[in-house]
Amino acid sequence: MKKLYYIIAAFVLLFGSTSCSDFLQKDPTESPSQDTFWQKKSDFDSALAGIYSVLYERPFSGVLPCWDGLTDNAIVRFSESTYGEVMNIAKGDLTPNQGGFVSDVYNNCYKGIARVHIFMEQLSNYQNVDITDEEKTFMIAQCKALHGYFYSWLYQCYRQVPLVTSSLDLNNMYQPKAERSAILQQILTDYNEAIADLPDKLYTEPEVSGRFTKAAVQALKARLLLFDAYDENGVAKKENMEEIQTVLESIRSGYSLASRTRDNFISTKQASSPEIMFSVRYLRPNLTNSMDKWYGLWSALTISRDLLDAFECTDGEKWGVSPLTVRPDEAVLYGTDKEAKIAEREKMFINRDRRMSESIFHSQKANFKMDGLADESIKLNDDNNESPTGFSMLKYIQPISETLTESVVSDQDVVIMRYAHVLLMKAEVENELHGPTEKALSAVNEVRDRSGQRGLRQPITQDELRERIRNEWRVETCFEGLRYFQLKRWKMMDKLNNLSDPGYPAYIKVYDPAFEFFPIPQTEIDKSNGILEQDPNYK
């Protein structure tokens, strides 16, 4: 079960995660290692692990929650590239010279794509008998899934990018941008061919643990298709939704929801989760991340009041509307008396959807047990890093017995796809196609029931259910890197313009429709000698 992790760990130790040996570089090189590598099956195992190792880099890894800083869910309070430079991007400082996510998505996706092509070409020429035809088929299917996944990020983040379908050399290393339709078709081809050959096994099964399965790629395909399933006015396209529904209905049974949402984010429970369909796997001591430090100790992700208000009360009614609402004293909540503010913050969690206390904590309290999570204790001791809004992300932070300090490292997996996402996609698609049917209600209520929230019932209109499903997406999947792309697909990004938080009024978000997509990194434009052209909105 742990074999893949050990291979990746060995790969990282030998070559590093950001600049691996020459045969896997993003830029083509002539390397002596080509003559000595690719000699046996273990070389291919290591190389495949090297492709997977790209997933430990931004934007796929522990920085994934920072994507919520580009939405109404949260604010990234530090401007460093460590956090994707989200603070600057959210304020409207989006230029071709921007670092962080603007350059990281582009560079690391193409790094992974280059590794895929080299691997597949070497495997196609490999003649030794220590790799069976079945093993070759599995390896190629993994590569195609990875190729599609890397391109799906490029497709959603940039308007147009180069389409690379083979290894590059010094004569063709710079490519012009392709049409979006060509990129989309390549992703779908990659996914379809991977789906055809990947084993139809659950993610918990040892043979596929840590790798793509048929169901995971089917779910990723559905997610990608949803990105284009609404027109420029935010109205669902029927043909697209029908195609997505067909994909979703083809996903195997066997997955189910974990006992609580938070279990999917606790390191000791992730490997056995019946819900996780794909994740970026970590394993101490060599494969670790800094999520506990970034989000727990430093409160790098400060949570918005807008997100807090989105969590319902326990009766299933909206906070502020429900009679169970316990309102804080707003003047005290955002005042200067620290102890009084803490008391008002605690009121925000009374009678609320338990996913709120599973996802968010407040006040950098020194030693606390989360409401409803009596078995978990977290000790924090750095008041200087209290969130400006008073609320920070808890979802990925691990329960520990010792005090959380600078030296703590973590090995929780970063979840990419889980069964709850599939259920919410099913609910969204069914409602857009046929309205508030029992099928749509059943899918969304399965997610709600897990957290003790009252099920949605008739009578309810299509518009009302659409609003409830979108809010369910928000509270169930906050900090999982999905909201930014959901707002884009629903054509709701304009709600971010001039957005600020009462606890952090100096931080004002800016959204310009011209900047719906990132610019191509200027360094790539400069290196291409005129072959690669910048997005016209950034010229």
Please state the rounded mean pLDDT for residues 421-449: 98
Q: What is the pLDDT of residue 14?
A: 38
Please state the rounded mean pLDDT for residues 495-517: 95
Q: What is the pLDDT of residue 31?
A: 42
Q: How confident is the model at residue 297 (pLDDT cuts 50, 70, 90)?
A: confident
Q: Would you say 392 and 361 are in contact if contact means Cβ atoms under 8 Å apart?
A: yes
Amino acid identity for residue 477 in this structure: T
Q: What is the pLDDT of residue 10?
A: 43
Q: What are phi and psi of 517, to 5 degrees?
A: -115, 155
CB within 8 Å of 424: residues ≥ 6 apart: 443, 444, 447, 469, 472, 473, 476, 477
Alpha carbon separation from 102 to 14, 147, 284, 494, 534 (Å, rounded)? 28, 20, 30, 20, 13
Q: What percent of the chain has pLDDT over 90?
A: 81
Radius of gyration of the chain (CA): 23
Cα–Cα distance measured from residue 153 to residue 136, given in angstroms and rounded to the nearest whole number: 26
Q: By C-alpha distance, which of 231, 246, 223, 69 is closest to 148? A: 223
Residue 223 or 171, more confident: 223
**Of the candidate ranges 29-43, 119-133, 387-401, the one whose mean pLDDT is the lowest:** 29-43
Q: How confident is the model at residue 398 (pLDDT cuts 50, 70, 90)?
A: confident
Please state the rounded mean pLDDT for residues 162-173: 88
**Of the candidate ranges 6-15, 191-200, 259-268, 458-467, the one whose mean pLDDT is the lowest:** 6-15
Q: What is the pLDDT of residue 402?
A: 65
Amino acid identity for residue 526 in this structure: D
Q: What is the pLDDT of residue 21?
A: 32
Cα–Cα distance measured from residue 269 to residue 273, given in angstroms and rounded to the nearest whole number: 6
Q: What is the pLDDT of residue 385?
A: 77
Q: How confident is the model at residue 13 (pLDDT cuts 50, 70, 90)?
A: very low
**Of the candidate ranges 114-118, 155-159, 386-390, 445-449, the one whose mean pLDDT is the lowest:** 386-390
Q: What is the pLDDT of residue 376?
A: 60
pLDDT tens profile 193-206: 999 999 999 999 99
Q: How confident is the model at residue 35 (pLDDT cuts 50, 70, 90)?
A: low
pLDDT tens profile 335-388: 999 889 989 999 999 999 999 999 998 876 534 444 445 456 666 645 557 889
Q: What is the pLDDT of residue 18?
A: 38
Q: Per-residue pLDDT for 28 more than 50? A: no
Alpha carbon separation from 345 to 305, 360, 389, 500 (Å, rounded)? 11, 11, 10, 19
Summary mean pLDDT of the chain: 90
Q: Per-residue pLDDT for 172 more than 90? A: no
DSSP 3-state of 433? helix
Q: What is the pLDDT of residue 406?
A: 78
Answer whether 0.75 is exceeded by the pTM. Answer: yes
Domain spans in the chain, listed from the N-terminal domain onward = 291-408
Q: What percent of the chain has pLDDT over 70?
A: 89
Q: What is the pLDDT of residue 401?
A: 61
Amino acid identity for residue 362 in this structure: H
- Partners of 236 in the beta sheet? 230
DSSP 3-state of 394? coil
Q: Per-residue pLDDT for 33 more than 90? A: no
Residue 394: count of CB within 10 angstroms of its CB: 24
pLDDT tens profile 229-287: 999 999 999 999 999 999 999 999 999 999 999 999 999 999 999 999 999 999 988 89
Describe the crossing of helices 419-434 and 438-450 by its angle, rounded to 10 degrees: 150
Please state the rounded mean pLDDT for residues 314-334: 97
